């Protein structure tokens, strides 16, 4: 599936998905500005990457969820622990047929970020980076990431393979960060 189709499939899981972005454009990984490049262009869990970058643990807040016959979808934000500062927006589509009931229960419970659950339960996993995207925030994303509508940030599409099966499709959007370009006053 091409990146735009995958993006549409994930945002279309929830009502109002068209309000998330003003626009979204696939860009080459090599063209991703820092620090977004270090945040997004890798094959690690974003939970761990966000914690390392921001120097604190993160909590998950579920915005919306759908649980239907082994397919679990949720729209979330990650926040710095103990604060209301949002560091990431995400949409997850998880096929629970590839994990144990304990993993499923802890994910649906919604108290621990997905990456932490998979690491804790030692689920054999591999993360496949699908695409890097540059997005302008629509009304919903702007509100969730505490940014202005029309402001630009970056994200990624990825798939997590659990026990060698493609189990999780992800859309992960970073809250706006100061980039090398913006720190020099360039557009």
In CATH, what number is assigned to the domain containing residue 134? 3.40.1410.10
Domain that includes residue 108, residue range? 3-178
Specify which residues 27 forms β-bridges with. Answer: 132
Please measure the distance between the N-terminal and C-terminal CA atoms of the chain and give it in whole angstroms.
32
Tokens of 58: 């993160």
Q: Is residue 123 part of a domain?
A: yes
Output the tens digit of pLDDT for each of the chain's 187 residues: 688 889 999 999 999 888 899 999 999 999 999 999 999 999 888 999 999 999 999 999 999 999 988 899 999 999 999 999 999 999 999 999 989 899 999 999 999 999 899 989 988 778 999 999 999 999 999 999 999 999 999 999 999 998 888 999 999 999 999 765 544 334 4
pTM: 0.91
Q: Which residues contact 16 (CB under 8 A, 6 or more apart)?
A: 140
Q: Is residue 140 part of a domain?
A: yes
pLDDT, position 182:
47
pLDDT, position 185:
39
pLDDT, position 181:
52
Count of domains forming the chain: 1
pLDDT, position 44:
87
Q: Is residue 187 part of a domain?
A: no
Q: Please state, in angstroms and rounded to a whole number, the distance separating the CA atoms of residues 60 and 182.
A: 29
pLDDT, position 26:
95
The runs of H, that is alpha helices, within 60-185 are: 101-109, 114-120, 139-144, 180-183
Q: Would you mind telling me the total number of residues written for the chain in this entry?
A: 187
Q: Is residue 185 part of a domain?
A: no
Q: Please state, in angstroms and rounded to a whole number, the distance separating the CA atoms of residues 138 and 40.
A: 21
- 132-183 pLDDT, tens digit each: 999 999 999 999 999 999 999 999 999 999 888 899 999 999 999 976 554 4
pLDDT, position 179:
66
Q: Is residue 81 part of a domain?
A: yes
Q: Is residue 73 part of a domain?
A: yes
Q: Is residue 184 part of a domain?
A: no
């Amino acid at each position: 599936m091409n990146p735009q189709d995958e993006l549409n499939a994930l945002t279309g899981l929830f009502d109002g998905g068209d309000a998330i972005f003003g626009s979204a454009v696939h860009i080459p990984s090599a063209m991703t500005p820092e620090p977004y490049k270090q945040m997004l262009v890798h094959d690690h869990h974003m939970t761990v990457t966000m914690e390392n970058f921001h120097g604190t643990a993160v909590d998950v807040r579920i915005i919306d969820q759908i649980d239907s016959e082994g397919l679990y979808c949720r729209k979330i934000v990650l926040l710095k622990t103990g604060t209301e500062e949002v560091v990431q927006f995400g949409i997850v589509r998880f096929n629970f047929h590839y994990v144990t009931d304990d993993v499923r229960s802890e994910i649906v419970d919604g108290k621990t970020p997905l990456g932490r659950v998979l690491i804790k339960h030692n689920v054999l996993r591999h993360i496949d980076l699908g695409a890097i995207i540059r997005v302008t925030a629509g009304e919903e994303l702007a509100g969730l990431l505490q940014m202005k509508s029309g402001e630009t940030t970056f994200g990624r599409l990825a798939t997590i393979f659990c026990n060698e099966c493609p189990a999780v499709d992800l859309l992960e959007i970073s809250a706006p960060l100061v980039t090398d370009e913006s720190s020099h006053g360039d557009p």
